[in-house]
């Protein structure tokens, strides 16, 4: 059974950093395309980043240069390192596996609230 | 990339059918057959209902169907049930290793 369990959310001050972790089970992250999606309070879904099975990474324009995505194959985990955080990064962050096609999320984790505020 | 355009709300009575549209451009919806639809209940993670424009994952009722014409994709829910109420989002590959979501549609079962 595919399972994604995210951790690491919380309150951070503007300009601060936070690392989100996503523990996968039931499959191997190194062989998959893994995505992070976020949802600001009361708003819609926003695609944030993807890491391909070949290790290539891509980001939405608003986080380029501030966020990095990585994985640890030995731990079967995916990470989202978020630096220079801003108030508009406040959102619930979801990790997901692109099960059904290369691009769109399929199986989703439970979501983590990240609040950027002083 | 601009978000795909969805109506803010849709509604129908139990047993009726409702269709939700998702309009993009030739650079996203119209250019690729990589359109997915998600159902989200309050406080929960989204659940994929349709992928590849019209394919249903295992376990999704066949009351849910998807289609595409030009730059507009559509999700149809037939035989509406109370548990179908929630928010629905479309997503599409948008080229250049990017994905774009729709703004979401709140479906109300009257």
**Mind giving me the DSSP string for chain A?**
--EEEEE--EEE-TT--EEEEEEEESS-GGGS-EEEEEE-TTS-EEEEEEE-TTS-EEE-GGGTTTEEEEEETTTTEEEEEE-S--GGG-EEEEEEE--SSSSS--EE---EEEEE--
Among B45, B99, B103, select the one facing A104 at the smallest CB separation: B99
Contact criterion met (CB below 8 Å) for B66 and B83: no
Q: Closest Cα of chain B to A46: distance in Å?
A: 6
Q: Per the CB < 8 Å rule, is B57 touching A101?
A: no
Question: How many CB atoms sit inside 10 A of residue B110's CB?
Answer: 10
The answer on pLDDT for A97 being more than 90 is yes
A:15-74 residues touching chain B, CB 8 A cutoff: 35, 37, 44-47, 50, 56, 58, 60
Report residue B65 CA to chain centroid gap: 9
Q: Is B41 in the A-facing interface, judged by CB distances under 8 Å?
A: no
Residue of B nearest to A60 (CA): B98
Alpha-carbon gap, residue B14 to A117, rounded angstroms: 43
What pLDDT does B68 receive?
Answer: 98
Instruction: Find chain B residues with C-beta within 8 A of A106's C-beta.
Output: 36, 48, 51, 57
Q: Per the CB < 8 Å rule, is A102 touching B102?
A: no
What pLDDT does A81 receive?
Answer: 98
What pLDDT does B2 receive?
Answer: 84
- Cβ-Cβ pairs closer than 8 A, A with B, add up to 73
Summarised one tens digit per residue, pLDDT across range A68-95 is 999 999 999 999 999 999 999 999 999 9
For residue A70, give every residue at least 6 positions away whose Cβ sits within 8 Å of its Cβ, in sequence order, or none: A51, A57, A78, A79, A81
Whole-number average pLDDT of chain A: 97
Beta bridge partners of A45: A39
Alpha-carbon gap, residue A7 to B30, rounded angstroms: 36
Residue of A35, A45, A50, A95 to mutate for B, most B C-beta atoms under 10 A = A45
Question: How many CB atoms sit inside 10 A of residue A78's CB?
Answer: 28
Summarised one tens digit per residue, pLDDT across range B29-88 is 999 999 999 999 999 999 999 999 999 999 999 999 999 999 999 999 999 999 999 999
Q: Is B106 in the A-facing interface, judged by CB distances under 8 Å?
A: no
Q: Closest Cα of chain B to A73: distance in Å?
A: 22
What pLDDT does A88 receive?
Answer: 97
């Amino acid at each position: 059974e595919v399972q994604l369990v995210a951790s690491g959310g919380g309150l951070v001050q503007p300009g601060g950093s936070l690392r989100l972790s996503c523990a996968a089970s039931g499959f191997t992250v190194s062989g998959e395309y893994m995505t992070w999606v976020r949802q600001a309070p009361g708003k819609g879904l926003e695609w944030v980043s993807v890491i391909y099975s070949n290790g290539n990474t891509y980001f939405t324009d608003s986080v380029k240069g501030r966020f990095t995505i990585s994985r640890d194959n030995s731990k079967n985990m995916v990470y989202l390192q978020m630096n220079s955080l801003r108030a508009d990064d406040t959102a619930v962050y979801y990790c997901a596996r692109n099960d059904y096609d290369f691009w769109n999320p399929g199986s989703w984790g439970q979501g983590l609230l990240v609040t950027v505020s002083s | 990339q601009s978000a795909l355009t969805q109506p803010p709300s849709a509604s129908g009575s139990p047993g009726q059918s409702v269709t939700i549209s998702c309009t993009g451009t030739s650079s996203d919806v119209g250019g690729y057959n990589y359109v997915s639809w998600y159902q989200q209940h309050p406080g929960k993670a989204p659940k994929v209902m349709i992928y590849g424009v019209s394919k249903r994952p295992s376990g999704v009722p066949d009351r849910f169907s998807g289609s595409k014409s030009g730059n507009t994709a559509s999700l149809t829910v037939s035989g509406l049930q109370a548990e179908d109420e929630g928010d629905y989002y479309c997503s599409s590959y948008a080229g250049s290793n990017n994905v774009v979501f729709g703004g979401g549609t709140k479906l109300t079962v009257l």
